[in-house]
Structure 1
């Protein structure tokens, strides 16, 4: 076959593809699908960008250019106000109220409370999930059904009983009091890990039993290593959830030694004038508070999605 014949066949194939209506429709669908995806991404990211833009704007000058897409009179003043690094005179010169919070203390309190909740909750929930998924005992499925029902109970209904319990234990205004109601286990954590444990090959467990391993050793040396990505994912999800929690820490932690960062930012907001709020300072506080969450999602985002898919959680 000559080179001319090969080129002629290629040209004929390209012409037939160009005339194929299904191929043209597919290209159009891909184009509009990609365009729709870009629009959704822009809509999703715009509030985050606006937070950055406001956090680095001069609060006084910002009202003169409210629709500017770039920081107005770029400054680090809002961050300095939130961190307590600006004097009242400097804050008021940029349109701030002169208010500040004990940011470092509140940040440490949040890290301590969220870490305490995450470590204990993941530990005990993994044990409970192992019992529900891989152990056979009477009433197992009925007890698990009760746990699933608990998923449908709004958290607001448990605030008063939990508050009375923490008060009677003398744990008000303590990090332990903030962590206590959720530090052992939650229905979601048990359900999340149980779904993965159900997919573990039973022959591995049976082989370990034949070799004389007890349940604790099986759990520690076989199940946990196999489920380690899911356990890490659960820990990250729970840490993020309780990092953003506000109502319960506000009710229980009112002292300086127990206030969490979300509560501190609420106090900072309440200290700004209602008629002329310090929007730049508020966005700077929200930005700094969100930094740990941004880092976690950037580093572990793909693992979280993969673990959720493998666990069957919708």
Structure 2
């Protein structure tokens, strides 16, 4: 009975010590075994591992690819056209020992601050280099430039025990002040193009109107010429008829023309004509030849 009293607590203590010396490394992480702050073991393979209880501790780090969003920064390409760049990076911890020595107990927060500084520095260095214009940054060459940023950031990040997997530019915009200036320039350009189109339209309209006016004049002239020809032919026909009538009976023709003259001269109720009695205008009123016509 007395032995059981002592053995049971000892067994419990040994079980607790044994269990505290075992830890599990997940396939998504890496682990360091530290003893008084010094690295004693590196556990990168998943499974069970052991440590000295109470003396050693386990620090775990992500073995997956992590994401880092950088702050917006201004860059000035070679054409002095400022741009606001927003980038992100994908990275992973490649050397957990070097990572621990570089960032210490600060962990992910310190590592990302330092990696963000490297990333921003490389963005300014690559995008601000000679022969790199804003148009090139916004063109298909953007992929080549981001690869260059990634390669340079990867070299710098090795000192932190990090591997930069990829870098991408999320947004590339103009600063607010430059944006307003650009919009004003674009509006002015569009207004100039609109004015040019209006001027060309007015010029085309004037050509069309001039052609229409010329066509109207030509058509009117042609119509007047044909009308004059027709009138001339009608007058000639009329004169021919009159001439034939005059030749057929000269006395009757003279009498008919006199009647037409009387009709035109004696129009209106207040018409008055003062003439001498022997005027030739009234020959048919007193002539013997007129008497039979009056009957």
Fold shared per TM-score above 0.5: no
Higher helix proportion: 1
User: Which has more radius of gyration?
Assistant: 2
With structure 2 as the length reference, what TM-score do the two structures score? 0.22
